[in-house]
Amino acid sequence: MSYRLRILFLLLVTLPFIMKAQDEDDRSLVQFSGVVVTADSLNPVPFTHILVKGTNRGTMADYHGFFSFVAEKGDTVRFSAVGFTPDEYILPDTLKNNRYSLIQVMKVDTVTLAETVIFPWPTVKQFKQAFVELDIPDDDMERARKNLALAEMKERMWNAPMDGSMNYKNYIDQKTSKLYYAGQLPPNNLLNPLAWAQFIKAWKEGRFKLDM
């Protein structure tokens, strides 16, 4: 028997087995389709990861939660999405058709992320420099001292003798006030605490005298 006849004989013998095995593989494949929704409101779960457990086969759902890919009968399909509890589904191995549809319901799961602290300084060196040059705000005691110093300065200014420039400034302020309130009533200083303080001080110093 020649070489070509041997090859032809082997092909004729093995071809039925090959076709049978291929036919069995084709019959085990299933077009697995469906949609992924939430358990509470049946809203779609977009971009859900769908993988056949133990393999690299799978797909990802679209924005509307729809998916479709080729799987095998008896495969364990795993569904996972951020914020939902992962779930698994086993394709029945007794399917008569090569198409199978599923509505996968996902339960909401609370995901606790690790704390992340963001600093405005990109390097440790810049942080040290910013820490050294940090302008610490005044506390209550320091602000009280500054307020007392300001009050003392105003007191000295009121008691200081007026020179020519101060008299001129006072005259201009009075004219400006009259022009500002022209055509309307000027403000009443009856409830002005500063005016009352000046009046009481002048009274104690004896600036007001009654002529009998």
- Does this model's pTM top 0.75? no
Report the pLDDT value the prediction gives residue 22, as an integer from 0 to 100: 44
Report the pLDDT value the prediction gives residue 123, as an integer from 0 to 100: 84
The span from the CA of 69 to the CA of 59, in Å, is 7
Q: Where are the beta strands (DSSP E) in 53-171?
A: 58-60, 66-72, 76-80, 87-90, 99-106
Going from the first residue of the chain to its last (212 residues), give the mean pLDDT of each consecutive group of 10, the final group possibly shorter.
53 48 59 92 93 91 93 93 92 88 91 80 84 76 75 64 68 77 70 71 70 51
Domain ranges of the chain: 3-106, 137-184
The span from the CA of 133 to the CA of 212, in Å, is 67
Instruction: Name the token pair of 2.
Output: 């020649």
The span from the CA of 153 to the CA of 202, in Å, is 18
- Contact, 45 vs 64, CB < 8 A? no
The number of helix segments (H) and strand segments (E) in the chain equals 5, 7
The phi and psi torsions of 136 (rounded to 5 degrees) equal: -75, 130
Report the pLDDT value the prediction gives residue 93, as an integer from 0 to 100: 87
- Per CATH, the number for 3-106 is 2.60.40.1120
Report the pLDDT value the prediction gives residue 21, as an integer from 0 to 100: 40
The phi and psi torsions of 65 (rounded to 5 degrees) equal: 80, 5
Question: Where would I find the H helices in 160-209?
Answer: 164-180, 193-204
The phi and psi torsions of 104 (rounded to 5 degrees) equal: -90, 125
Report the pLDDT value the prediction gives residue 6, as an integer from 0 to 100: 53
**Cβ-based neighbour number of residue 50 at 10 Å:** 23
Report the pLDDT value the prediction gives residue 84, as an integer from 0 to 100: 92
Give the strand order in the sheet containing 58-60: 58-60, 49-52, 76-80, 87-90
